[in-house]
Amino acid sequence: MSEIKINRRDFIKLTVAGVSVLAGSQIIRRAQALETVASNGHQWAMVIDQSKCTGCDYCTLACRAHNDIPPEISWNVVTKTGTVGAQDVYTPRPCMHCAHAPCVDVCPVRASSYRSDGIVKMDYDRCIGCRYCEIACPYGARSFNWKQFDGQNPAVPEWGQPEVARRPRGVVEKCSFCYQRIDRGLALGLTPGIDEDATPACVVVCPVGARQFGDLNDPESNVSKLLHERTSYRLRDDLGTSPRVYYLSATEEPQS
Amino acid sequence: MKIKLPNFSPWRVWIGGLVTVIAAGVAAGLIVLWKGLWLTNLTDMVPWGLWITIDLSSIAMSAGAFSLCAVVYLLGLKRYQAVARTATFIGLIGYTMAVLTLMLDIGRPDRFWHSMVYWNEHSLLWEVTMCVTFYLAVLALEAMPIFAGIGWLRSHWPKLAEKMSRVHHFAPYLAIAGLALSMLHQSSLGALYGVLKARPLWYRPDISVLFIISAIAGGMALTVFASMLSVRLTRHANVENSILDRVSLIVGWVLVVYLYFRFWDALSMTYTYEPGRTEGLHLLTGGPLSFNFWIGEILLGAVVPILLLLNKRTRALPLWRMLAMALVVGGVVAYRWDTNLSGLLVILSYLPGDPSVAYTAYRPALIEILTGAGIVGYGLLAFSLGVRYLKVVDHNSIKTHTEEPKIVKAIPVATD
């Protein structure tokens, strides 16, 4: 009988310990969420003007070349989503770089993480390829490397030169906001969004200027001004993911 | 020809068949590891398929271990000890099956240890991985006394065998650890789906509860079924019918609880149109998964076994009881399969405007089936060997076993 009593006491102790560990992790999580919001410095964002986009898909191809992506994967997908007047409307979709990214939450190994500038970064050396993030992403922005990508990239050299290492078979990959360009550009004293060498490849290649990139913390940046002047929306804002990609709706008369 | 025939005893045919299935599975598995996951029918739309179902099901089927060990060592109902022993052995097999399946399913099996080192405590999958790893260790310890019974070990390493069987004294503590770890990850496996806001059919709190309740029913059912089948097939097994009868009654009542929660869970989703969720529910109730749902999960998986198990007369008849248990196991597997696919086959558009929903399809490739069969074959082989050589279904041995600790316990008291 006494043996059972000890067991029960231990059981309660263990339960209390378990609950407090869980509660503790939740508190840590809150603290971390606050940290990302309070972070100073740059907060990169993209604005896509749907009244300008013609659906040419140059962005997808430039992205494939600069990031050395296999032809069966697109980090950026352009979809026709309707018409306004006589004009077709397209919705390009890079990674949303959510402030509350489901992929970051679910990754069992922290292969997806937030950079202090808001970019959701993938660590391809850490990813175990469980594909939980693919299932969790509301935007379908993630692709798994089912096959090893060998040989020539058909988008190179016509659309640019690879700037990052090819991902190995068995990991998930996604748009990086070309942070290799941002980081190198900043080191050279350039301004992302203004200087082409410091700006994501899709923004640079766009022939109609439908994509703008810049710092939300800088009130004078292209994106801050556009978001101030025009009404914007974000994809699946109802999910609370807080994407960093903003859309300007297509209107009957193209604005400015 | 006729001279060779006597060699084909049912046991040898059974083992030979299993070894063949396992060999095919190993070959297919090696091809997957070598060539990559593009050989499967998994896609970016349906990245989890048959293997995840086997993974979830083998963990669910192992739930008999923690629940029966808790009954024996925490509730103090010692007479269930023999069944708990069988369940523990099944649990050890089940979790190793799950680990094997996961090693195939993840893209980088060489990095399986990353979740041990790079913690993401926000991730339910991280929590599940940690719990499964620790629980596998607990199960290995719990099964130590079983392995101590190997004749070769006893004759060659008597001291080691003695030490291994002494692990039994820690059984209550292992039962506590097992209960805590299982309560966490058995339900988290459901919550893994339930926390995903992007998947409206899954995004509800009930899946975690349904997963653990169905796992308890399924795990106990498999234990009873495997025990009864062993007794019918081999003289190496023996059971005490009254104990299995009690466990069967428990399974019946657990199923009632499960069906009750499932009813309200499903019914509450039928009200008002919710993009993605309504379509997912239609997949289950009227679409490609409807046979699985209505017949596999609800009718054969729950209603029929409830009737068979709560009715004293049918429960007392071995064949009816075994049928009921097999149906429960099938129903739990069907539930795992349906849960995974009903959420994945519906693709909710992220585009603005009217929420548009598209459907995709999934059917496992031959190579997925072969590897899956190989893993199940391994489980069956391990259990068969356990019944024959480790006496894992032996309700008589426990009676002497329960006396043993008393004698050992008396020694320290005497030396004091």
- Residue B2 resides in a domain: no
Peptide bond into B158 cis (omega under 30): no
CATH domain A42-248 topology: Alpha-Beta Plaits (3.30.70)
- The candidate with the shortest Cα–Cα distance to B293, out of B336, B357, B261, B346, is B336
Can you tell me the distance from the alpha carbon of A53 to that of A55, in angstroms, rounded to the nearest whole number?
A: 6
Put simply, whether A132 touches B (Cβ < 8 Å) is yes
- Residue B327 resides in a domain: yes
Q: pLDDT of A106-131, one tens digit each?
A: 999 999 999 999 999 999 999 999 99
pLDDT at B415: 46
Identity of the residue in B37, B108, B192 whose CB atom sits nearest the CB atom of A128:
B108
pLDDT at A1: 42
> Given a cut of 80, is residue A203 above it in pLDDT?
yes
Q: Are the Cβ atoms of A108 and B36 closer than 8 angstroms? A: no
- Residue B153 resides in a domain: yes
- Residue B310 resides in a domain: yes
Q: pLDDT of A22-33, one tens digit each?
A: 777 666 665 555
Q: Least CA distance to B340: which residue of chain A?
A: A135
pLDDT at A253: 64
- Given a contact cutoff of 8 angstroms between Cβ atoms, the answer to whether B392 and B383 are in contact is yes
- Residue B4 resides in a domain: no
CATH number where B180 lies: 1.20.1630.10
pLDDT, mean of residues A141-160: 95
CA distance to partner chain A, nearest, from residue B226 (Å) = 30
pLDDT at B406: 46
Residue B176: strand pairing partners: none
CA distance to partner chain B, nearest, from residue A66 (Å) = 23
Q: Least CA distance to B123: which residue of chain A?
A: A106
- Residue B250 resides in a domain: yes
Chains A and B form CB pairs within 8 A to the count of 151
Can you tell me the distance from the alpha carbon of B32 to that of B371, in angstroms, rounded to the nearest whole number?
A: 9
Find the domain containing B380 and state its range. 11-415
Residue with tokens 């009217």: B354
Coil, strand or helix at B348: strand
Q: Are the Cβ atoms of A138 and B198 closer than 8 angstroms? A: yes
Reported confidence tier of residue A2, pLDDT bands at 50, 70, 90: very low
* Domain locations in chain A as residue ranges: 1-38, 42-248
Distance (Å) of CA A202 to CA A56, A63, A67, A121, A176: 12, 6, 11, 18, 11
> Given a cut of 90, is residue A39 above it in pLDDT?
no
Distance (Å) of CA B181 to CA A46, B88, B130, B174, B177: 44, 14, 9, 10, 6
Can you tell me the distance from the alpha carbon of B23 to that of B99, in angstroms, rounded to the nearest whole number?
A: 18
Can you tell me the distance from the alpha carbon of B359 to that of B361, in angstroms, rounded to the nearest whole number?
A: 7
Tokens encoding B47? 């990245």
CA distance to partner chain B, nearest, from residue A192 (Å) = 28
Number of domains in chain B: 1
Tokens encoding A142? 């993630």
Measured between beta carbons, the chain A residues lying within 8 angstroms of B105 are 130
- Residue B1 resides in a domain: no
Long-range contacts of A15-21 (CB under 8 A, 24+ apart): A15/B180, A18/B180, A18/B184
Predicted ipTM?
A: 0.90
- Residue B3 resides in a domain: no
> Given a cut of 60, is residue B251 above it in pLDDT?
yes
Q: Are the Cβ atoms of A132 and B176 closer than 8 angstroms? A: no
Put simply, whether A165 touches B (Cβ < 8 Å) is no
Query: From the DSSP assignment, how many helices (H) and strands (E) are in chain A?
Result: 7, 10
Q: What percent of chain B has pLDDT over 70?
A: 93
Q: For residue B128, how far is the Cα from the chain centroid?
A: 14
Q: For residue B147, how far is the Cα from the chain centroid?
A: 21
Put simply, whether A245 touches B (Cβ < 8 Å) is no
E strands, A68-140, are 77-84, 87-93, 112-114, 120-122
Choose the mutation target among B125, B129, B368 for the interface with A, i.e. most A CBs under 10 Å. B125
Measured between beta carbons, the chain B residues lying within 8 angstroms of A105 are 122-123, 195
Put simply, whether A80 touches B (Cβ < 8 Å) is no
Q: For residue B215, how far is the Cα from the chain centroid?
A: 7
Q: pLDDT of A55-107, one tens digit each?
A: 999 999 999 999 999 999 999 999 998 888 888 999 999 999 999 999 999 99
> Given a cut of 60, is residue A254 above it in pLDDT?
no
A129: left (phi over 0), alpha (psi -120 to 50) or beta: left
Can you tell me the distance from the alpha carbon of A73 to that of A171, in angstroms, rounded to the nearest whole number?
A: 13
**Residue B350 CB contacts under 8 Å (≥ 6 apart), including other chains:** A93, A138, A139, A140, A235, A236
Put simply, whether A182 touches B (Cβ < 8 Å) is no
- Given a contact cutoff of 8 angstroms between Cβ atoms, the answer to whether B325 and B221 are in contact is yes
Choose the mutation target among A21, A109, A149, A169 for the interface with B, i.e. most B CBs under 10 Å. A109
**Residue A236 CB contacts under 8 Å (≥ 6 apart), including other chains:** A138, A139, A243, B198, B350
